Structure 1
Amino acid sequence: MTSRALLSQAALRERLRQLDHGELRSSGYWLTNFLMVISTVLGVYLAAKVGLQQAITFDEISDLKYSYNLQTALADELAENATVLRQYNSSYLSRALPQEELLRNNPGISHFVWDTMKSSPQSLETPGYFLNEIQRFYRASQRIITARERHQYSALQASQLLTEQLDYLEHQVLPRLRNNIARLRQTLEALDVQVAEEIQHAP
Structure 2
Amino acid sequence: MTLRAIMTGSALKGRLNQLDHRELRSSAYWLTNALMIVATVLGVFLAARVGLQQAIVFDEINGLKQSYNLQSTLADELAENLEVLRHYNTNYLSRALPQQELLLNNPGISHFVWDTMKASPQTLETPGYFLNEVQRFYRTTERIIQGREQQRYGASQAGKLLTEQLDHMEQQVLPRLRGNIQNIGRTLAGYDVVVAEEAPRAP
TM-score, normalization by structure 1: 0.85
* Equivalent in the alignment of 2:100: 100
* Equivalent in the alignment of 1:51: 51
Q: Does 1:40 align with 2:40?
A: yes
* Equivalent in the alignment of 2:22: 22
Q: Does 1:184 align with 2:180?
A: no
1:142 CA displacement: 0.3
Q: Deviations over 1:160-201 (max 9, x none)?
A: 100000000000000111111111111111211010113466
* Equivalent in the alignment of 2:169: 169
Distance in 1 of aligned mates of 2:23 and 2:35: 18
Distance in 2 of aligned mates of 1:161 and 1:182: 31
| Letter aligned with residue 46 of structure 1 | L
| Letter aligned with residue 65 of structure 1 | K
- Cα-Cα RMSD: 1.8
1:69 CA displacement: 0.8
1:23 CA displacement: 7.0
1:121 CA displacement: 1.6
What secondary structure is seen at the aligned counterpart in 2 of 1:22?
coil
* Equivalent in the alignment of 1:131: 131
Q: Does 1:86 align with 2:119?
A: no
Q: More deviation in 28-37 or 134-143? A: 28-37
Q: Does 1:71 align with 2:45?
A: no
**Kept after mapping to 2: 8 A contact 1:76/1:199:** no
Distance in 2 of aligned mates of 1:148 and 1:130: 27
**Kept after mapping to 2: 8 A contact 1:85/1:107:** yes
**Kept after mapping to 1: 8 A contact 2:23/2:29:** no
Distance in 1 of aligned mates of 2:156 and 2:23: 104
What secondary structure is seen at the aligned counterpart in 1 of 2:37?
helix
* Equivalent in the alignment of 1:197: 197
1:94 CA displacement: 1.3
Q: Deviations over 1:42-91 (max 9, x none)?
A: 00000111110000001001111111111111110000000000111111
Distance in 2 of aligned mates of 1:75 and 1:175: 9
Specify whether residues 114 and 170 from structure 1 end up closer, same or farther in structure 2 by C-alpha distance, changes over 3 A only: same
